[in-house]
Structure 1
Amino acid sequence: MNEHHHVPVLLEEALQALQVKDDGVYVDATYGRGGHAQKILEKIGERGRLLMFDRDPRACEDARRRFGADARVSIQQAPFSTIGRMIEGLGLAGKINGILFDLGVSSPQLDDPGRGFSFRAEGPLDMRMDPGSGESAADWLNRAEENEIVRVLRDYGEERFARRIARAILRERSIEPIATTRRLAEIVARAVPVREKSKDPATRTFQAIRLHVNRELEELTAVLPQTVPALAPGGRLAVISFHSLEDRLVKHFMRVEAKGRELPPGLPVRHDQFRARLKVIGKAIRAGVVETQRNPRARSAVLRVAERTAEGAA
């Protein structure tokens, strides 16, 4: 398997959104396999800087192998919810010119059966972005109560047959623990009575469990507020989402920060404390026909962009 086989989504659009400057300081919060990072490095000069984050140890190994000798680069293996603290520790708070998030899983993660992300190939039911941390999908699935499984499938997978699937899982695991991707996919396929066109019946279940195991929505909720004080005035925040729940969080966050916090009635606070800290840039950007034909993963991608205001940073 080629570890570098990953096609970055909305590459040119993301670079345009970041407005990369020769001497700018940028953060690639989700390195993946470095498609966006490589292009940012091609655009910045000797005085520029790029901080790379990923919680997947294989992604960080790839980053060190390819870019570790570059003096402009810093590589951190950590969940992106730690970005704010790390930026502050480096003395770069309020000095970052652009932060990019490319959410979800990368192609190498999906394509490696050993990672357990895909229902298309047999592999251990793991799904952790950092296999050395937290509870695997199998461990969770074999201990969770029915109502917890139902909640995860409904909330994160928007699965209308969540109850039927949860009961099937409990029934099957009482016979033998569910340890592999194919066994889970087969359990779900038997439990789902209606097929969606061009969609495997296990799609929503695998997506929901992956989001839960990696706490992806919680991570996103935690990191978004950290990006604002990290950005310099005029600095850009660019987020590529592949899931409606992620995109909803990003859209709401940017709108709230662009509106400015409500001024509580009767409280002795200064009006400048409630200025808008972000300005939304343009409308949501989606991949065009050419890109989606070349890379089907791009079909669900949504890019949203916001800029740090000078007033809110004052």
Structure 2
Amino acid sequence: MGSHVLLLTLYFDSALGWHSRGYNHRPRRRSAVSGASYAILTPSELPSWSWIGWQERITTDHCDGARILGKSNNTRETFPITTWFTAKLPTAVASERRRILSTWPEDRIRYKDLSRSLPPGWQRHNPPKFGPQVRPIVYPDGCGQYVFSNEAMMKNSNEREGLNNLWYYPVPIAEISASTPPFIPEQTAYLFCETFKVRLLAVYGRLGDTLYLYDAAKKIIGFLIPPLPPELATLPQERKKEVELVAISRIKRYEVPYLFEEDRFASYVTTSEHIAVL
């Protein structure tokens, strides 16, 4: 659990973008329990904004990653738009709140710098080439001239040939041994920040749990996916409801389109940006 907590802190802005995997799922709140019992799912102090507070299969496809995944024709990067704090109680004053130090956006820029010496164990390679019908590598800004590998990294048997254990840029690897002492930061359930908010109309779509968001001009400008807040999770599908949302991060998405008429992937990358909300 300690390593997961540290990663969530490092990637905090992007980690807030997790959601339920698949449609027509109803995530349930998880309770803090002792022993091996995981059957108690009543409301608890486990944070609602974290995947650990829910009983459900989840996906973290909003999270940034330096590893090249061969099962997708898109990738994304998250950019912070606010400063986050955490505390034990919702009434905590400023002096009782601990700042969440998400350093990944700054680290990412440094790791992409090709003028830096490679960290120990890393090797630089020319990018592999694939035919027009093969899903290409989608590079974020600042990447694409090289790819990187490290034998200490675990290989993924699900990756396609040519992309196993390849990375957009090298990242330092901590040396951990049996004598390395464990470290778990203080666990607190409440978040604090100053951010933007907006009120929009939420309407169920054809995919069951997905709620589409409309602005005042009745134009679709986004959507919500599980886990939904209780007032929306129990909303009859023929109903509409005004919801208040807060911005948590800015996401830039990179994609190589598939040209169906030509039965091939495009030779260019499209980019789009959106705001992730809670």
Say yes or no: TM over 0.5. no
Quick check: which one's helix share is greater? 1
Higher relative contact order (CA 8 A, sep 6+): 2
TM-score of the aligned structures, taking structure 1 as reference length:
0.22
Quick check: which one's strand share is greater? 2
TM-score of the aligned structures, taking structure 2 as reference length:
0.24
